Amino acid sequence: MTTEHTDPAEYHPLYLAGIVHFNECDYYESHEVWEELWTDYRGPSRKFYQGLIQAAVALYHFGNGNIRGARKLHASVHGYLEAYGPYHLGLHLDQFLEAFDACLKEVAASTEDFPKIDLDPELLPEIHLDPPPVEAAS
């Protein structure tokens, strides 16, 4: 288990673009951008990107009231991301998953097919990379 830091120059532009959309709560667009990266990527971070895609889609479903879809994806996110913990590509996964779980706590606990659970904007997870990405020169 290593926590050595990533060189910000190694962050893929689509990874960073997806994070911007994710932090703006545009989960559909973050999923689209990360899926573009994931589709062509064949390296060791493939399942990591897939886990982020699943997290974005889970939050998208939750925001649209599709609790069943959000619950199903919530479980799979851990399966993809935990193997990369506690830190991968600038993301502290334990912190991210803790925030993700807090946001979807009621969703994960629900046993109803169509429960009415409102998303709490205060609990929406964000992705902050450590170290932060290098700003592109203007």
pLDDT (tens digit, 9 = 90+) per residue, 15-35?
999 999 999 999 999 999 999
Residue 137: pLDDT band by 50, 70, 90 thresholds? very low
How far is Cα of residue 110 from the mean position of the Cα atoms in its chain?
A: 21
Q: Residue 46's domain is classified under what CATH number?
A: 1.10.3450.10
Kindly state whether residue 135 falls inside one of the protein's structural domains: no
Residue 51 inside a domain? The answer is yes
Q: Which helix (H) or strand (E) holds 54?
A: helix 46-63
Helix or strand holding residue 92 (H, E): strand 91-92
- What tens digit of pLDDT does each residue of 67-87 get? 999 999 998 999 999 999 999
pLDDT in tens, 101-119: 999 999 999 887 778 888 8
Closest alpha carbon to 127 in 73, 59, 79, 64: 59
Predicted TM-score (pTM) of the model is 0.91
Structurally, how many domains does the chain consist of?
Answer: 1
